[in-house]
Structure formats: structure tokens, C-alpha cells
Amino acid sequence: MPVHGNHSRERDAINVLFAVSQDNPVTLSELEVAIKSVLLHAPMDNPLTIHIMADSPAYLSLNELWVSSQIASWRTRNPITIHVHHIDPPTVEKWKYRIRKFFQGAGYQKSQMHLVLEHTIGAYFRLYANQVLPTTVETVLYMDTDVVLLVNLQILMPFFAPVHEDENRPLFYWTANMCSGFMVIDIAKLPYVWNLTASIDLKRTSKEKFRNHPPNDQLILRALNLTYPDQVGLLSSETWDGHSGDSLWRFPYKVSEHRPRLGMLHFNGGGSDMGAYFEHHQFLTQNNRDTQRTFGLAKEQVYLPWSWAQFRMEALICPGENGFLVQLHYPKIVADEGKATKNESSEYKQG
């Protein structure tokens, strides 16, 4: 049954987390598709909360998305809330300093620090989510911006059930391929992720187990999984291993045969030109019938007009009910000499 009334709590919701940094038109255009995908697959029986962690340049650029989608005027079957969390410049610099010190403590030289932030600071935002998200949020589904959902999020609801005091839930869940683009994370345990990884010889693990994996956020998670496998949970590979760069590249023309119950598509970037995946990724651009019938189905999320997406969501509201107005929390900030500060306004308003 859908949720009725206004008494839903954050812990009853499925929480989805995105992280973006810099005013990157590629990342932001991919984020638009990813958010559309999440909205269209919102859980049928529970609230949905979307969290976006964004540094100042990315944060300011998101206003265009809210205007074009008119999301604050949508009505939906169950409550949907979007929280945009501004990661201000001092916090960004503080995290960068801590990350560099962490890898220096692991034996990496200053000359290697450019590799630490090779994929921008936004790649590490999820590892600091406990410092930003409300304390009522216990678990989040983290998604890269180049992930498209294929199945309703209700299927993941068991991962968001309240944790019993005697239950030892894993630090995070992902598939056996250890791709961090799609993870279920226990927010309260993120400090433990850092502390536990600090006990690992990262340089040796990188060299011996991961063919000199560069020092970055992926190495932290993979080394932890390899060293402490009992601390990590596994998602169904049949459902959540839709990563084009991990295994499906071996049979791009027969994806549906190898993954008959696939729940998501992860494009692992757009290629060497760093363009948006939906403009450059071979699984979308190559003119092959079988490919277009599998990975190519993501094009619907790319090209579906926002107005049509809104109508689809409204059509799910039970007859005779008004549904719920989407709550968009997007505190206004103003740019000031390359920095950004919060304005007094705490809610987004159309117009």
C-alpha cells in the first residue's frame, strides 16, 4: 500500500545518494539522466529521498535542472524529497588535506598526490556522507551519475530496514566485481571504513593484488574488501552487475541472455574523450540491433522529456488521492570571488 498522510520518516524511505563536483557539463548532464531514472523507478510502497552532495560550482549549476524539470511542482504516489547538500570551499579543502595525509601515511610520495584526486574530490564525497547527511539517514544507495536503473527501487527495501541492536550489518554492499558505482552504504560506519583501511598496507596490496592500482577512492574500498571480506556484503551479481567495463564488455550483443534479471546499467564513463556516456559510449552509439535492445534502452531515460516523466509519475497516484508534492530542499547560495555562501532562503521556489 502507498504511504498515506504526512508522518513518513527518513528511516522509512529509500535514500539515494549522488555526488558531484566542479562545474562539469558532462557530469551534470549525466546526473540529470540518473535522477530521472531514479524518479521513474521510485519505490511503489515507500518514500524516496534523493541526496546530492555538491561543491560550490556544481551546486550553483544545479539550478538549471530544477527549472527545466519543474520538479517542485510534481505530485507523486509516495513522498519524494530531494536534498541538495552544499559542500562549501573550506570543507572541500579540509577533506582534500585529510585525503592527501591519509595516502601519505600509507607510504605514497608527494609526487603521487596528483593521482589521489585524479577523478576530482567528488569521488570521495560518499566517504564523508556521515558528516553531511541527517543523522536519521542510516543507509544510502550510492549511484554514479552514469548509472541508469531498470527496475523499481522497492526491490532494495530490505537493505533499508532498521537495524536491530544485535545485528552486525556490513560496512557496505556491492557486487563481486568491486565496482563502486553502485553501492549500499551504512552511513554511520564510514569512519570505520577509513580506520580499518588505515591498518592495511595499501601500496603492497595495490601492487600485488590490483596491478599497481592508483591511490584513490576505489583502492580504499577494494583493499578493504580484499583484506576484510567479512566486513563487506555482496549484492546479487545477476541483478546489480550491469557494469559495461567489468564483465559485460565480453558479450555486449547478448547482455539480456547473461543477465536476464538485470536491475541497472552502468556505463563506466563515456570513453577516452571524457564525453557524456550517452553521446560517446560504444554500447549506445554502435548501430547493432542486439546492443540497442539491451544497453541501448538507456536512451529512453536520456531523451524522455521532463514533462512526460512527470506525467508518468502522476499516473501512478491512486485514483481519488492527491498524491504528494515533491519537496525540493535547495538552499540558495551566492558566488563571491570564487567562493559560495549560503543565503537565508532554505527552500527552492518556482519562477
Whether 327 maps to a domain, the answer reads: no
pLDDT confidence bin for 150, thresholds 50/70/90: very high
pLDDT digits (tens, 9 = 90+) for 127-145: 999 999 999 999 999 999 9
pLDDT digits (tens, 9 = 90+) for 14-37: 999 999 998 888 889 999 999 999
Tell me the sheet residues that pair with 335: 340
Whether 72 maps to a domain, the answer reads: yes
Quick check: 264 and 240 in contact, CB under 8 A? yes
* Mean pLDDT score, 114-131: 91
CATH number at residue 26: 3.90.550
Residue of higher predicted confidence among 250 and 311: 311
Q: For 216, which DSSP code?
A: S
Whether 43 maps to a domain, the answer reads: yes
The DSSP result for 112-164, as a single string, is: GHHHHTTT-GGGGGGGGGGGTS-TT--EEEEE-TTEEE-S-GGGGGGGGSPPP
Mean of all residue pLDDT scores within the chain? 88
Per-residue pLDDT at 256: 83
Whether 342 maps to a domain, the answer reads: no
Whether 188 maps to a domain, the answer reads: yes
Q: Which three cell numbers stand for residue 286?
A: 554502435
Q: Buried b vs exposed e over 313-349: b needs ≥16 C-beta within 10 Å?
A: beeebeeeeebbebebebbbbeeeeeebeeeeeeebe
Q: Look at 3-12, 72-81, 131-140, 168-177 and tell me which has the smallest mean pLDDT.
A: 3-12
Whether 68 maps to a domain, the answer reads: yes
Per-residue pLDDT at 271: 53
Q: For the chain, what is the domain count? A: 1
Residue of higher predicted confidence among 339 and 228: 228
Q: Buried b vs exposed e over 43-82: b needs ≥16 C-beta within 10 Å?
A: beebbbbbbbbbbbbbbbbbeebbeebebbebebbbbbbb
Whether 340 maps to a domain, the answer reads: no
pLDDT greater than 80 at residue 340: no
